[in-house]
Amino acid sequence: MARGFGPAPTPDITYTQCKRCGTELAGLDGRYSCGVCGWSNHWSEGHRPLPAAEDDPDAPPSPVNPLGEQ
């Protein structure tokens, strides 16, 4: 998948059953987290690569060391 600038693609809502307790789950792009038992699948099972930190336009600036020299 080509990486570019601009908004990230809208994730698709996908459904599965919890592998631990069987609850019907909705997730995004194949990534699930069960609110009943706490199960979640591995991030690599997602349908798309996860965005990197630099892809987040709202990312906070790097923390500044208050003891550092100005």
Terminal CA-CA length for the chain: 41
- Taking CB under 5 A as the criterion, the residue among 17, 21, 45, 56 binding Zn ion is 21
**Structure-token match 């709202």, residue found:** 58
- Contact track, Zn ion, 36-65, x by CB under 5 A: xx-x--------------------------
Question: Cα–Cα distances in Å, from 26 out to 4, 11, 58, 61, 65?
Answer: 28, 12, 26, 33, 41
| Interacting span for Zn ion (CB under 5 A) from 2-10, 17-25, 43-51, 57-65 | 17-25
Which residues in this chain contact Zn ion in the complex, by CB under 5 A?
18, 20-21, 23, 34, 36-37, 39
